[in-house]
C-alpha cells in the first residue's frame, strides 16, 4: 500500500502539489478539477498547457513523486444528454492532462438512479468514458464518496449509491475500478469490513477521510432530515483504520490510501491545512507498515 494525499485544498496547482508532497516525504499525490468549459471541438492542450504539463512531469521525476490520480469533481447525470456530453468532453480534456503529466488514473463520479433506464444509460456513458481512457492507457476509477455538489445536503435532495450499484457498474464497464470510502459506508449503515471481501479485487484506491455521525440529530429528524453526518480527518471519526488496513494487508491490497482533508474543522489557512495533513500522516503511516 502507498500513502497519498489530495493536495487540491492547498491551492498550489499540480506543480506545487508535487513539490509539497516531496517536502512532506510522501511519494504520491492526487488533485481534483472542478467542472470546466470545453470547446465543442476535439479537446487539445494548447502550447502553454503543454509546456506547463511538461514542467509538472519533470518535477515528478526530480522529486520522486507520482501523480496517482486526477479527479473530475462532476457527478454526471447519465439520463441527461447535455450532462453526459459535458462529462465526456471534460474527461477527454482531463485525459490529455493525465497523459502529459504521467498520471495513470482518472477518477469520476456519477449521480445514482434507481430504475432500468438509469442502468442502461450508465452502461452506455461509462463505456464511452472507457474508450477515452483506454485510448490514453489510463485507468478509470469510480469514486464512492459523496459527490462534491451534494455535500452539505440531506438525503431529501439526492440518492446515495448502494453496494449493488457498485457491483453493477463494475460488471458493465470492463476495467472500471472503485475508489472506496469506508467513511461513507459508515453513514450509509454498510459494514465496510464485511463487504470488503467481495469488492477488494475491484478496489484500487482507498479514500482516507473519517466520519462523525450526530445520533441525536438523526434520531430527532430521521434519515431525510438535516445533515446528520460530516467528514473528519482520519482518526477523528468512527472508522476503525487499524482493523481496515490490517484486513487490506490480508487481502494483499497494493493500491493507494489517500488522505482527504474534508474536515470542516480544518481552517482555510495553509498552515492549518498543513498541520491537518501532518497529523493525518502521523496517524496513518504507522498503520500501513508491515
Domain of 64, CATH number, reads: 3.20.20.150
All three cell numbers of 246, joined, read 490490517
Angle between helices 116-135 and 81-101 (to 10 degrees): 30
Q: What is the pTM of this model?
A: 0.94
- Quickly state the pLDDT bin for 275 (edges 50, 70, 90): very high
The position carrying cell 462534491 is: 148
Distance CA 234, CA 203 (A): 19
CB atoms within 10 A of CB 282: 11
Q: Three-state SS across the chain?
A: CEEEEECHHHCCHHHHHHHHHHHHCCCEEEEEECCCCCCCCCCCCCHHHHHHHHHHHHHHHHHCCEEEEEEEEEEECCCCHHHHHHHHHHHHHHHHHHHHHCCCEEEEEECCCCCHHHHHHHHHHHHHHHHHHHHCCCEEEEECCCCHHHCCCCCCCCCCCCHHHHHHHHHHCCCCEEEECHHHHHHHCCCCCCCHHHHHHHEEEEEECEEEECHHHHHHHCCCCCCCEEEECCCCCCCCHHHHHHHHHHCCCCCEEEECCCCCCCCCCHHHHHHHHHHHHHHHHHHHCC
Range of the domain at 187: 2-288
Determine the average pLDDT of the residues in 115-134: 94
Give the closest residue to 87 by CA, choosing from 131, 128, 30: 128
- Quickly state the pLDDT bin for 43 (edges 50, 70, 90): confident
- Encode pLDDT of 141-186 as tens digits: 999 999 999 999 999 999 999 999 999 999 999 999 999 999 999 9
What pLDDT is attached to residue 27? 95
What pLDDT is attached to residue 42? 74
- Encode pLDDT of 8-34 as tens digits: 999 999 999 999 999 999 999 999 999
% of the chain surpassing 70 pLDDT: 99
**Which residues share a beta bridge with 211?**
231
- Encode pLDDT of 67-80 as tens digits: 999 999 999 999 99
Structurally, the chain folds into a number of domains equal to 1
All three cell numbers of 53, joined, read 504539463
Contact between 261 and 233 under an 8 Å Cβ cutoff? The reply is yes
All three cell numbers of 194, joined, read 464485511
Amino acid at each position: 500500500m502507498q500513502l497519498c494525499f489530495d493536495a487540491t485544498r492547498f491551492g498550489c496547482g499540480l506543480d506545487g502539489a508535487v513539490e509539497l508532497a516531496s517536502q512532506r516525504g510522501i511519494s504520491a499525490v492526487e488533485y481534483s478539477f472542478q467542472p470546466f468549459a470545453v470547446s465543442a471541438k476535439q479537446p487539445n492542450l494548447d502550447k502553454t498547457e503543454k509546456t506547463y504539463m511538461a514542467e509538472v512531469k519533470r518535477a515528478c521525476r526530480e522529486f520522486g513523486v507520482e501523480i496517482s490520480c486526477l479527479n473530475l469533481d462532476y457527478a454526471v447525470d447519465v439520463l441527461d444528454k447535455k450532462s453526459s456530453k459535458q462529462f465526456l468532453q471534460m474527461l477527454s480534456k482531463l485525459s490529455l492532462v493525465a497523459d502529459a503529466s504521467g498520471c495513470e488514473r482518472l477518477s469520476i463520479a456519477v449521480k445514482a438512479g434507481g430504475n432500468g433506464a438509469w442502468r442502461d444509460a450508465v452502461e452506455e456513458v461509462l463505456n464511452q468514458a472507457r474508450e477515452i481512457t483506454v485510448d490514453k492507457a489510463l485507468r478509470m476509477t469510480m469514486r464512492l464518496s459523496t459527490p462534491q455538489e451534494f455535500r452539505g445536503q440531506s438525503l431529501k435532495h439526492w440518492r446515495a449509491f448502494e453496494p449493488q450499484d457498485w457491483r453493477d457498474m463494475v460488471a458493465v464497464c470492463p476495467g472500471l475500478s472503485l475508489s472506496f470510502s469506508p467513511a461513507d459506508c459508515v453513514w450509509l449503515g454498510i459494514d465496510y469490513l464485511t463487504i470488503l471481501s467481495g469488492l477488494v479485487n475491484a478496489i484500487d484506491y482507498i479514500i482516507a477521510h473519517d466520519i462523525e455521525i450526530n445520533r441525536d440529530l438523526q434520531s430527532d429528524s430521521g434519515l431525510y432530515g438535516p445533515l446528520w453526518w460530516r467528514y473528519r480527518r482520519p482518526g477523528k471519526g468512527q472508522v476503525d483504520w487499524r482493523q481496515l488496513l490490517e484486513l487490506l494487508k490480508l487481502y494483499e491490497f497494493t493500491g493507494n490510501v489517500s488522505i482527504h482533508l474534508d474536515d470542516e474543522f480544518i481552517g482555510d489557512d495553509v498552515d492549518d491545512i498543513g498541520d491537518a495533513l501532518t497529523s493525518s500522516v502521523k496517524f496513518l503511516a504507522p498503520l500501513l507498515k508491515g
